[in-house]
Structure 1
Amino acid sequence: MTVRPVPHIPESALTFALDSLPRDGAAHDSSRGLRHRALVSIPLTALATDSLVIGVTAVLAITGRNRLPIFDVAGDVSDMLGVVGPLMFLAWVITIAASGGYARSVFGAGPDEYKRVVNASLLTAAVVGVGCYLAKFPLSRGFFLLAFGIGVPLLVLGRFALRRALHKAHRLGVLQHRVLIAGRPSHIDEIAAVLDRERWLGYQVVGAVTPAGHVSATTASGIEVLGDSADLAAVAGAAGADVVFFANGAFRTSDEMRRAAWDLEQHRTQVVVAPSVTDVARERITVRPVGGLPLMHLDAARATKASRWAKRTFDLVGASALIVVLSPLLLLAAVRVWAFDRGPVLFRQVRTGRDGVEFACFKFRSMVTDAEALLARLHAEEGFEGGLFKMKDDPRITKPGRWLRRFSLDELPQLFNVVRGEMSLVGPRPPLPTEVAAYDDDMRRRLRVRPGMTGLWQVSGRSDLSWEEAIRLDIYYVDNWSMLQDLSILARTVGAVASSRGAY
């Protein structure tokens, strides 16, 4: 049995079609056994991937040591490595395994998988280096440096590719964990909503278990209630559940919860404890067991850190460099906008920035000159009631405007807003004052940092997202800011722009 917190919520031969398997009687048991074997194959696939990568690393390291001119003495080191080489690489795989690099719990989400592979690789390098020194074995230093200098990045890339394959399989509905959620109906629905939104996690909710006394056949969101928590193990077995989520209110006492976990252990069912905490980054969570009681410590929100000099310096240097590099594209876009109807090149719109301060947000004009005058009529025609107004076939957009919007080139002038300190390269979307006027207290947290040219909502679907989802992502960014997250969003922005997903 493994008890661990729920993963944070805000591709290869992994193709086992599990959803079509039968669910009753002996056929049901066979279905569960096949699904279990399919899930067990994930660590085996990782082992095969690592072994292949390490084999390729060996060839590259030997070839590089023999042929690269950077080494003083040329020669063939293959004979020297006849015995030591295979032992070294076998030890590498064994160390990864001993470090938990093939544990089922590390696959799919979080940085633990990468950390264990890197730490095991560094430990292997240290043991090999010290062992050869003590044994006075003349291991080629060039080979040693190339082996681990090439091998570690390749191992991480291999695991990244495997993770992408796993996520794709999950989204296609295969290699799924069948999940039973035990708890109060309201919290069951909250967890189910997160698991449904984050389908790449591979959790398929098959039912719910509620405390004794709950009489409804389904929860508010329509999840079928299969029984009560007193018969949890039996219900989980009948439903073919691989994982049981313990949500709030599932048990009256900790003793009941412990006994339920013991019962589930006999059926090889994994237990996941899901506290009433969502949209908190892993970096802000520390679990510290005290007297057998696992206490979850939450660090303070990081909005203030997102406003410090380091981020501002990064924005200023990055925006200035981009203006210089993209100046030919900026000039081309300006000429196309002006040549279409001889109207203004730039569109200045009042937006709300950090701490509610309004500023003029720059964009290349992508609409007709009287676009604002036509807005009220479009609101009435579309039945717009509030939030962010977007139309896939907005009649106000000009021909060059469609080109600009397709690749988000209309937003490039905002680089000057970044230089002026009104915006950041990464941050929440800059809202209109009319939007801010309708904000509640939660939404106003978006205003604690500078708005960004790109952000989580842009790389997660842009205009394809609902208003509520865009707000949720922006608040998540504010509360969980980090420089690494900014760099990740910038990298993902390139793909989002290239695919034009959600851009209109």
Structure 2
Amino acid sequence: MYRYFFKRLFDVMLALIALPFWFIILVVIGPIIYFQDKGSIFYNAPRLGKDGKVFKMYKFRSMKMNSPDIRNEDGSTFNSEDDPRLTKIGKFIRKASLDETPQLLNIIKGDMSIIGPRPDLPEHRELYEGNEERKLEVRPGVSGYNQAYYRNTIPWKERIQHDIYYIDHLSLWLDIKIFCKTAVSVLKREDIYVAPSCGVEAGVTKDSVGVGM
């Protein structure tokens, strides 16, 4: 019952409660993003949603305009504290996890949930193997099992298996634990960036600005 009704109800209620506070963040952060780099405040990132439907995931833009798209060896998006693509305000909002707050709008629209697997890039669907496509059984989340307990310290394929574990054990109690653990991790600013040992591959794409998971 929680999975099919109450989870969505709680998502909408909490997102609507948080929305006025997000507007304050928008009023403060938005102009700084624009004036530092004279570009869009938001980055609309195409992502895989429930049942494989592609949607636009909203983020505050943290990178300079026309930045190259750099990927890790496993195909996931690269991030680093010393990433030269980041603007000054971009480094701050990444560390404070404020860049993800526009996803409140995705929650209200029904694209995302507060807790769930973090959404992959559309092209990642072709890289799924075995049971990995199961992560598309539920709405993706602003935070999830991996973000709460590992953040960016483990490979993409391992994160997918944790997502499937979450789906198989989805409950109100698990969501509460993930939510609380995420809050602690964000406050401590732990494991924000991908470990250097992951390695990267670079490529430039037209819409690469602000790429990030």
Instruction: Give the alignment's TM-score, normalised by structure 1.
Output: 0.37
Amino acid at match of 2:178: I
- Work out whether residues 461 and 501 of structure 1, in 8 Å CA contact, stay in contact via their aligned partners in 2: no
1:456 corresponding residue in structure 2: 145
2:15 corresponding residue in structure 1: 319
2:189 corresponding residue in structure 1: 500
Cα distance in structure 1, aligned partners of 2:176 and 2:26: 23
Bigger-Rg structure (1/2): 1
2:46 corresponding residue in structure 1: 350
Matched, 1:387 2:75: yes
Matched, 1:434 2:130: no
The number of equivalent residue pairs is 192
Post-superposition Cα deviations, 1:380-428, rounded to whole Å, max 9, x if no partner, equal xxxx433313232322111100000001100000000000000000000
Cα distance in structure 2, aligned partners of 1:500 and 1:331: 23
Residue 338 of structure 1, CA deviation: 1.1
Structure 2: stretches of 5+ with no match in the other structure: 194-213
- Work out whether residues 366 and 405 of structure 1, in 8 Å CA contact, stay in contact via their aligned partners in 2: yes
Aligned partner of residue 431 in structure 1, secondary structure: coil
2:206 corresponding residue in structure 1: none
1:365 corresponding residue in structure 2: 61
- Work out whether residues 118 and 140 of structure 2, in 8 Å CA contact, stay in contact via their aligned partners in 1: yes
2:199 corresponding residue in structure 1: none
Cα distance in structure 2, aligned partners of 1:311 and 1:391: 31
Counting only pairs closer than 5 Å after superposition, residues 239-388 of structure 1 correspond to structure 2 as: 306=3, 308-371=4-67, 374-375=68-69, 378-379=70-71, 384-388=72-76
Residue 324 of structure 1, CA deviation: 1.6
Residue 334 of structure 1, CA deviation: 1.1
Matched, 1:445 2:140: no
Cα distance in structure 2, aligned partners of 1:333 and 1:488: 29
Aligned partner of residue 337 in structure 1, secondary structure: helix
Aligned partner of residue 182 in structure 2, secondary structure: helix
Cα distance in structure 1, aligned partners of 2:141 and 2:109: 13
Amino acid at match of 2:31: V
Larger helix share, 1 or 2: 1
Amino acid at match of 1:458: Q
* Counterpart among 65, 78, 90 of residue 401 in structure 1: 90
Amino acid at match of 1:503: I
Post-superposition Cα deviations, 1:139-170, rounded to whole Å, max 9, x if no partner, equal xxxxxxxxxxxxxxxxxxxxxxxxxxxxxxxx
Structure 1: stretches of 5+ with no match in the other structure: 1-303
Q: Which runs of 4+ in 1 moved over 4 A?
A: none
Residue 305 of structure 1, CA deviation: 5.5
Post-superposition Cα deviations, 1:35-88, rounded to whole Å, max 9, x if no partner, equal xxxxxxxxxxxxxxxxxxxxxxxxxxxxxxxxxxxxxxxxxxxxxxxxxxxxxx
Cα distance in structure 1, aligned partners of 2:2 and 2:13: 18
1:471 corresponding residue in structure 2: 160
Aligned partner of residue 453 in structure 1, secondary structure: strand
TM-align CA RMSD: 1.5
Matched, 1:482 2:178: no
Counting only pairs closer than 5 Å after superposition, residues 83-122 of structure 1 correspond to structure 2 as: none
Amino acid at match of 1:439: Y
Cα distance in structure 2, aligned partners of 1:437 and 1:315: 30
Aligned partner of residue 418 in structure 1, secondary structure: helix
Residue 330 of structure 1, CA deviation: 2.6
Cα distance in structure 2, aligned partners of 1:358 and 1:391: 23
- Work out whether residues 390 and 463 of structure 1, in 8 Å CA contact, stay in contact via their aligned partners in 2: no
Aligned partner of residue 464 in structure 1, secondary structure: coil
- Work out whether residues 46 and 121 of structure 2, in 8 Å CA contact, stay in contact via their aligned partners in 1: yes
Aligned partner of residue 326 in structure 1, secondary structure: helix
1:51 corresponding residue in structure 2: none
RCO higher in structure (CA 8 A, sep ≥6): 2
Cα distance in structure 1, aligned partners of 2:111 and 2:79: 27
Residue 326 of structure 1, CA deviation: 3.2
Cα distance in structure 2, aligned partners of 1:310 and 1:388: 32
How much identity, in percent, do the aligned residues show? 36
Matched, 1:416 2:105: yes
- Work out whether residues 407 and 503 of structure 1, in 8 Å CA contact, stay in contact via their aligned partners in 2: no
- Work out whether residues 353 and 423 of structure 1, in 8 Å CA contact, stay in contact via their aligned partners in 2: yes
Cα distance in structure 1, aligned partners of 2:13 and 2:2: 18
Amino acid at match of 1:405: R
- Work out whether residues 149 and 181 of structure 2, in 8 Å CA contact, stay in contact via their aligned partners in 1: no
